[in-house]
Structure 1
Amino acid sequence: MDGIVEYAVSSQEYARYAGATINFINNKYATVYVPLSRIPEKLIGSIAYSVIPKLFALLDLVSLEEMGVIRLQSSPLSLKGSGVLLGFVDTGIDYLNPMFQNADKTTRIVSIWDQTIVNMQASPDIFYYGTEYTKEQINAAIQSEEPLSIVPSIDEIGHGTTLAGLAGGFTDVTADFYGAAQLSEYLIVKLKPAKSNGRTYFGVPDNVACYAENDIMFGIAYLVNMAKKLNRPIAICIGLGTNQGSHEGLGPLNDIIADYSTQVGAAIIIAVGNEGNAMHHFFGKIDEAAAYTLVELEVGENENNFSIELWGNTPGTYSIDIISPSGEYIPRIPARIGEFRSIRFLFDETIIYVDYVIVEAQTGDELILIRFRNPAPGIWKIRVYGSKITSGFHLWLPVRGFISDKTVFVSPNQFTTITDPGNNLSAITATAYNPINQALFLEASRGYTRYEQINPDLAAPGVNIYTPLPGGQHGLASGTSLAAALMTGISALLLEWGIVRGNDRSMDTYQIKKYLIRGVKRNPALTYPNREWGYGTVDIYGTFESLRGE
């Protein structure tokens, strides 16, 4: 089983994994590979919760003109992303698609790191696993009658190809398709699927796309390291998300994103997720009269195993009892450090594991992890108790795809539904709207963070977007990851103007965010920033108009 350790800070934490295989991500974090035989049932009691890699899902379910890109490309500035890299940590790319090629049929892809292809000679540049394919190899594959014999990397799902195409795909006049940063080049990471032991622990089905936090961290580190080696600016798109974690932008993945966001020449753009109407979030405060608050969870028929996270806001201390659909009652489990229960329900044939983390390492807040095995369908009741001083608590079910649409909270809350790492305050976070009717994407996750910090940052088109697909096809799609991809392309245009052309050589993610906020379009009927739209809808042409000082 994998673990993420902060070795640079805690040598004691690092030393406890002596004998395990260790792979360093950066100067702070490392991944440890521990044999399953050494993993205890009471896992969280023996290690910090943040050590266990979270599991991430893909965030998908006339845009360039809407964002001012066409006007900018045809203006005297003529920005098209020249000299800038576009980085994607996703499902790979269809490198044979002409949109990722120059006019002379050579590739625009600098390299592909495919984590799924085993290579016993993998170098430190790719962290000793997977296979890296260079521009020269990709060009040779394009010219070959059997390209996959040279570069066997395939985007089977198509999500990565779609995002890469939206951000910078070459113009396809016949299909009426235009990418945002058409002269940029690409760095691609194809993520390997999460290991089965991680899926089993959190109850994620084997047949869904699922990626581990540590592999995403390695992927981002690869992109940043490559950009430094090439001495070129890079805009990185993250179209993945999870409901695991504190929802306040903390944890190992968020930490390295925050670190890389401050580096000159780097822009990191993250989708906020599609959980707004999923009914996967509950917020409550303790009912003083009853001394508890009732949370009702409806579990659908034939539901897979799943987990729930309860995060209690400081200074409160929280505890729970559970009532099954058949009425079987599990008395209140006291809030004690290291408290762990394995509960078998006789009549419902369900097993529930409950872990209490009174002071979670990354946040200092309380976490109660509830893992269901063979959950009986019907209404489960969780009564949440609090100490004398409380300030509210949240519960989150897994993201769409990890759980059936029939398993929901009976009284959900649509706010604070941004998926991690979309709660990151250093990156640029993108929500989605419909450019035709100017309505927010119905499924878009809403802010703010758990402690009411502003997110999302900006809105971009993400509803019924005409998108590229593998095999040279096109189709309509919706999702906040599409908005993030378009905003990644826009960020590449700013990096060209600032870094490549020398107008702002100190440009980093934070500054790009501020540039974009300067140019937003707003609805006069709304107050900004807000939980749905952030600071407004992105308009890159408006950004440059704002710099004219008129």
Structure 2
Amino acid sequence: MMPEDRFKITSNDYMDLIIQYNGNLNILKRYEKYSVHIMNPGYAGIYYPVSQDTSQLIRDFGYSGIPKCYTLLSYESLAASGVTVLRSTSALNLRGNGVLVGFVDTGIDYRNPAFLKEDGTTKIAAIWDQTIDSGPYPELRYTAYYGTEYTAEQINQALKSTDPLSVVPSMDVNGHGTMLAGIAAGSENKSNQFMGVVPDAELLIVKLRQAKRNLTDYYFIPPDVTCYQETDINWGVQYLINTADKLKKPLIVCIGVGTSQGAHGNNGLLNTLLSIVGDCPGVGITVATGNEAQARRHFYSILRPAEKVTVDLNVAQDEYGFTMELWGSPPMIYVMDILSPAGEYVPAISRGLFETKQIRFVFDQSILSIDYNMIERDSGKQVIVLRLKKPSQGIWRFQVSGIGDLPGDFHIWLPSGNFISNNTFFLNSDSYTTITSPGNGLLPITVTAYNAATGALYPDSGRGFSTSNIINPDLAAPGVNIVCPTLNNEFTTVTGTGAAAAHMAGIAAMIFEWGIVDNNYPNMDTIGIKKFLLRGAKRNSKLQYPNQNWGYGIVDVYNSYNIFRTIL
């Protein structure tokens, strides 16, 4: 990418698209007119002018070519996870010393005492704020060309100033990133009975920019909703990895955002990146399962030859718009008929590998765009993407039938979080296979949430397993009414699987301190952390494991060390 094209990164006149090239630069030459922006050896971005036709994007660039949109996943934890008792053991008083914990989220309130050392200096090694484009942008192996990086030295200068934000203007106006960072690595505050899991760890922070308006418009996401795009999250993870490598310290990455878009398997830009970096020594990845189990936004069915399956969807009044994705397993070919609440009928389309169609309904203002993709590149499955603008209130009926002589199964997902109204849902929904991505990947530690006070699973926690037959979630961690710092130097409680993933990130940092910093297991990676914790997890004798709700059980880091001690 040429520096003079850098304005396209932030301009809403250009849509960010993803190209998978896997090291073959000849593939990228086809897209030179769109300003190729290499992200890593497997993927590159291009900037497509929205003045051109965008109705054929899935056909021209593939389903995975359009960045997915991610939402936030959080709304007496230390003792429950075995952290307190482990610290009482003098030889294992692990507090995260020498370990970095990184967040790709809403930023951080760096002025909060929870992120200061005893001498008043910052615990934050660096911040990359993607929303401030004054520079300097971070120096990566593949240059991001946007945002501004602030070093620990600059943050310390700001803390000494009477007007810190005039020196380092990065702010967390949402609070989500501040809360998660505090749960993992906040300094002790006795008056609020608070301490992060690893209060001596350092922090690396990426503040994500809001997704481009042209992308949220494409998916009909309301303009006032917090939304992040896959490409920015990808750059954020690469920044954390690159910075930790410069600082020569082990790193735990916590992902507290998720999406219900995609096949819910081990594929796609972000899943691929996390699988690669999570397999590197000195890097651990924790991700949240999402909070979609009770939202009634997932439908599943087995489809037999010559049969039809009826899918009824209740659409709320004044719904802004939404997308809906059907993912069908081969060898069956899936077709869909549609009946609107006003009785208008849309017959099935089943011609060729790709088909795009737009329907304007006569009796209301609804506009429906349909993309049929017979063989989606990453998963090999068939995907039918429906984008419904200004949908009329009432029951929309979809009839799914198949072409073929063998049975098949299919999933349908609606958007996650507040991308869609709570009153838009399937009448006959399925609460399983509701883990948001990237929680469906193979390498990361996928964390569900439970209530440490009652021992009950947080009912909204996404449930497994993934469509790639990967066992997710892996473990449960405290995620209900977790005390944490928030904006304006205050404390609050937070609930959600994002909070559980942050708690697990702190525990993973403890293990890295013991394994890498203390040189007991210097080549430990994500899988090493995961297997170590699986062995010590608390399990209910009445349940079968691995479990679609609990994974392998409740994390208990003390018990993991205790088991390890008994076999030496």
TM-score between the two structures when normalised by the length of structure 1: 0.98
Q: Greater shift after overlay, 162-171 or 384-393?
A: 384-393
| Amino acid in structure 2 at the alignment position of 1:369 | V
Tell me how far apart the structure 1 counterparts of residues 346 and 53 of structure 2 sit (CA, whole Å): 27
> Are residue 32 (structure 1) and residue 49 (structure 2) matched?
no
Instruction: Give the C-alpha shift of residue 549 in structure 1.
Output: 2.2
- Cα deviation code 1:324-351 (max 9, x no counterpart): 0011111122252111110111012211
| Amino acid in structure 1 at the alignment position of 2:95 | K
Is 1:352–1:373's contact at 8 Å kept on the other side of the alignment? yes
Instruction: Give the C-alpha shift of residue 10 in structure 1.
Output: 4.9
> Are residue 248 (structure 1) and residue 265 (structure 2) matched?
yes
Q: Greater shift after overlay, 484-493 or 37-46?
A: 37-46
Is 1:317–1:390's contact at 8 Å kept on the other side of the alignment? no
Is 2:37–2:46's contact at 8 Å kept on the other side of the alignment? yes
Question: In structure 2, what is the equivalent of residue 361 of structure 1?
Answer: 377
Equivalent residue in structure 2 for 1:466, among 458, 461, 483: 483
1:337-486 equivalence runs, <5 A: 337-388=353-404, 389-486=406-503
> Are residue 111 (structure 1) and residue 126 (structure 2) matched?
yes
Q: In structure 2, the residue corresponding to 1:333 is in which secondary structure?
A: coil
Percent same amino acid at aligned positions? 46
Equivalent residue in structure 2 for 1:204, among 211, 214, 221: 221
Instruction: Give the C-alpha shift of residue 419 in structure 1.
Output: 0.3
- Cα deviation code 1:83-109 (max 9, x no counterpart): 000000000000001111110100010
Q: Greater shift after overlay, 519-528 or 106-115?
A: 519-528
| Amino acid in structure 2 at the alignment position of 1:536 | G
Question: In structure 2, what is the equivalent of residue 528 of structure 1?
Answer: 545
Instruction: Give the C-alpha shift of residue 74 in structure 1.
Output: 2.2
Q: In structure 2, the residue corresponding to 1:518 is in which secondary structure?
A: helix
Equivalent residue in structure 2 for 1:219, among 228, 236, 259: 236
Question: In structure 2, what is the equivalent of residue 317 of structure 1?
Answer: 333
Instruction: Give the C-alpha shift of residue 72 in structure 1.
Output: 1.4
Q: Greater shift after overlay, 431-440 or 464-473?
A: 464-473
> Are residue 96 (structure 1) and residue 111 (structure 2) matched?
yes
Question: In structure 2, what is the equivalent of residue 259 of structure 1?
Answer: 276
| Amino acid in structure 2 at the alignment position of 1:364 | G
Tell me how far apart the structure 2 counterparts of residues 17 and 4 of structure 1 sit (CA, whole Å): 11
Tell me how far apart the structure 2 counterparts of residues 434 and 123 of structure 1 sit (CA, whole Å): 39
Tell me how far apart the structure 1 counterparts of residues 521 and 465 of structure 2 sit (CA, whole Å): 31
Instruction: Give the C-alpha shift of residue 39 in structure 1.
Output: 4.0
Tell me how far apart the structure 2 counterparts of residues 334 and 421 of structure 1 sit (CA, whole Å): 31
Tell me how far apart the structure 2 counterparts of residues 167 and 415 of structure 1 sit (CA, whole Å): 28
| Amino acid in structure 1 at the alignment position of 2:121 | T
Is 1:53–1:213's contact at 8 Å kept on the other side of the alignment? yes
Question: In structure 1, what is the equivalent of residue 292 of structure 2?
Answer: 275
Question: In structure 2, what is the equivalent of residue 176 of structure 1?
Answer: 193
Instruction: Give the C-alpha shift of residue 61 in structure 1.
Output: 2.3
Q: In structure 2, the residue corresponding to 1:57 is in which secondary structure?
A: strand
Q: In structure 1, the residue corresponding to 2:512 is in which secondary structure?
A: helix
Is 2:58–2:65's contact at 8 Å kept on the other side of the alignment? no
- Cα deviation code 1:352-388 (max 9, x no counterpart): 0000111101011101000001100000001111122
| Amino acid in structure 2 at the alignment position of 1:307 | T
| Amino acid in structure 2 at the alignment position of 1:143 | K
| Amino acid in structure 1 at the alignment position of 2:411 | H
Tell me how far apart the structure 2 counterparts of residues 49 and 103 of structure 1 sit (CA, whole Å): 50
Tell me how far apart the structure 1 counterparts of residues 565 and 332 of structure 2 sit (CA, whole Å): 50
| Amino acid in structure 1 at the alignment position of 2:321 | N
Tell me how far apart the structure 2 counterparts of residues 257 and 266 of structure 1 sit (CA, whole Å): 10
Equivalent residue in structure 1 for 2:61, among 13, 34, 47: 47
> Are residue 300 (structure 1) and residue 322 (structure 2) matched?
no
Tell me how far apart the structure 2 counterparts of residues 332 and 360 of structure 1 sit (CA, whole Å): 19
Tell me how far apart the structure 2 counterparts of residues 377 and 71 of structure 1 sit (CA, whole Å): 54
| 10 and 346 in structure 1: CA distance in 2 versus 1, 3 angstrom threshold | farther
Gaps spanning 5+ residues in structure 1: where?
A: none
Q: In structure 1, the residue corresponding to 2:51 is in which secondary structure?
A: helix
| Amino acid in structure 1 at the alignment position of 2:31 | Y
| Amino acid in structure 2 at the alignment position of 1:15 | K
Is 2:285–2:445's contact at 8 Å kept on the other side of the alignment? yes
Tell me how far apart the structure 1 counterparts of residues 255 and 99 of structure 2 sit (CA, whole Å): 17
Q: In structure 1, the residue corresponding to 2:121 is in which secondary structure?
A: coil
Is 1:265–1:508's contact at 8 Å kept on the other side of the alignment? yes
